A and B are shown apart, each in its own frame.
Chain A
Amino acid sequence: MNLTRLKPYLPSLFFVLALCVLVLSLWRPHAGHHRMEEGDFPNEYVPAVTWPLGYFEVAPEIENVWIDNVPARVENGRVWVDNLTIGWHQLKVRRGDSIEDRGRALYVTPFGPDNFFWVFVTDVHIARFGKYLREVAENGFKLINEIGPAFVFCGGDVTDYALDSEYEGFLKCRKSLELPLYMIPGNHETYIDPDLDHWSEMFGPTDYSVKFGDALFVAANVLGPYRSWGGATREDLEWIDNQLSRDGKIKFFLNHLPVVYSQTTIYTIFPLINRGEYNTCVCRGTEELLEILRRENAISVFGHWHVFDEPFVYENLLFFHVPSLTPNSKGGLIRWLLGGGMMAGGYGFYIFRVENWKLTYAHPIDIRKLEIVREKASDSVVVVRIRNDHPYPVPLNLKFDFRCGASIDGKPVSCVTYGQVSWVRFDAPSGLTTLTVRRI
């Protein structure tokens, strides 16, 4: 064979070969993990949340705990909280021979563990440029802070490409949030940081679990790197299995990528995603993961696709697809190509309420449809005007820095007071509501 005849085709062949070698050598199936050891809980990234006269659980290896430098009562792995003000507290623990300063690692919430609500916010997508998205994110976090949940989970994709400037933007936006914010990495955080090392330096572990009373929250990372599809390895499944096996009367499995969801986007014709009865972005180990969720009857909450907000029931399991906080895309190209605004979304987060270890409320909140305006009517009266354009009530836990009583149209509203601070707690109905708060 005359090899010179091959000459015209050699550049293309070598180029394709080089691309294949590069793709194969650089491809990695899973993002890095930074799993939290049991003994490392609580810490400033994954704080303990408890309630007045309540407790939080620590690993058996933790022998002593100091809250604000005062020794706390530790019994059978439970640290009891006596006479603490609502808010943040400093923790120190003794583990073995060493005393570790855990920083601001304890938050006391005004909620009891048998009736509380929490927020899942996701896909903040702070870009390096532009003001609008940052304003939306900032307003979103301000609104969440005003609503006053017990704590907040952030489901990932806080940046576009995990750049430092984007992280700085996110940290500025979340500044107004005084509540515990548990962070979960998203696929966009893996663009330039596939091992999630940089992410971990900023936000701590990528995989962890926390408890509030008997409610268990398992936050996991089943991401594939470089904006890829996700998947659970055997190691991931073992970890998730172990964590979800912990005691708990209600269990939540939180992660960025949709485990099971109903609608999908342009990938509907892609068999890796479309499994017939459902779609998934956790493309490997899906059945095994579902088996664990089924066994533990865990409720899954995730983000990623920005727009879908309808709960999905599959084999008696609940899956919540939380819309993005910022409108990452106007849906332009996608809408034009597919005739739908699938990728538009934005302005949303989810509120979940747990009462007596049952999920009694789960609704998406559109930040454009909820407005809470406080007006000082006199020295002793504050009028709060609430506009709720959702077709369902929205739970509120409004904080006032004084002891107060509250009413709507003369009817008293539940008020919880600790020390000199009060929280007015009620469900704001659809439409306009005027809440009158009087200093006592």
Chain B
Amino acid sequence: MKKKEEYIYSRRFLYFFTGRISKAYDEVMKHPDLFRTTVQAVIPGALIFSFVFQYTMASVVHPFLQTVWAADFFSFWGIPALISLFVLKLMRTNFNTEAFLEASILAAHPLYVAVWAYFVPSIIYHHFIVGDYPCYVAYSRMGEWVYLALLGVAGFLLTCITWVWCLTKVGRVKWYIAPFIWLFLCVPGLYGTYLIFVWCT
């Protein structure tokens, strides 16, 4: 008799970050745990990002701005996720809402990781090793925007792929429809992220 496989929550991340995207989504579909993933990944990410943003500006800015940056970080995932969910509901596809939202958190991770991939080394290098200026100055004035832009574009393109994959696999949308949902409905929704930034700041 085949032994029942032991459930380990962190496997979804292990599979996702080692390139086994499909397996990661399988794991999410088998054992969806949106509560834990939101608490462990998205919310701390948003809070830490707001502090990092403040820290890289070398200032103690008003808590209002910190809140806005946290909201902006959160909305990178939240707005496309809500739009996708709404579209899937309209399409009446047979999918698990919790699993889909959790899988979309994983799908957004390439973009998040890309942003961190600039900030973390830049902070370590500029603040702790060289001590010349905040990394805000480094990317906005000293030309390091190139790294941030390249990583951001790469992360965004990867997110496009993983999100379409998520729509197809977890959302059970036809593979030839999913890119259109992502491109024409979810990506324009990121204008909301821009609006949060512009409106509030």
Contact = CB atoms under 8 A, between A and B. Distances in A.
**Majority DSSP secondary structure for residues of A touching B:** loop
A330 B141 contact: yes
B189 to A, nearest CB: 15
Contacts of A330: 141, 143
B132 to A, nearest CB: 6
A129 B200 CA distance: 27
B146 A22 contact: no
A264 B57 CA distance: 25
A434 to B, nearest CB: 38
B78 A333 contact: no
Interface of B: 32-35, 38-39, 42-43, 46, 57-65, 67-68, 70-71, 74, 78, 98, 101-102, 132-134, 137, 139-141, 143, 145-146, 148-149, 198-201
B137 A19 contact: no
Interface of A: 7-12, 15-16, 19, 22-23, 26-27, 127-130, 133, 160-161, 163, 191-192, 194, 225-228, 267, 270, 272, 328-330, 332-333, 336
A269 to B, nearest CB: 9
A3 to B, nearest CB: 13
B151 to A, nearest CB: 12
B96 to A, nearest CB: 10
A192 B60 contact: yes
B62 A26 contact: yes
Contact of B61 (A129, A192, A270, A272): A192
Given A8-B34, A336-B145, A194 B134 contact: no
A161 B59 contact: yes
Given A11-B38, A12-B42, A332-B143, A192 B32 contact: no
Given A23-B67, A161-B57, A333-B148, A225 B74 contact: no
B143 A12 contact: no
B188 to A, nearest CB: 12
Nearest to A194: B62
A12 B65 contact: no
Contact of A8 (B33, B57, B67): B33
Contacts of B60: 192
A128 B148 contact: no
Contacts of A22: 63-64, 67
A59 B82 CA distance: 61
Contacts of A163: 58-59
Contact of B43 (A9, A15, A192, A270): A15
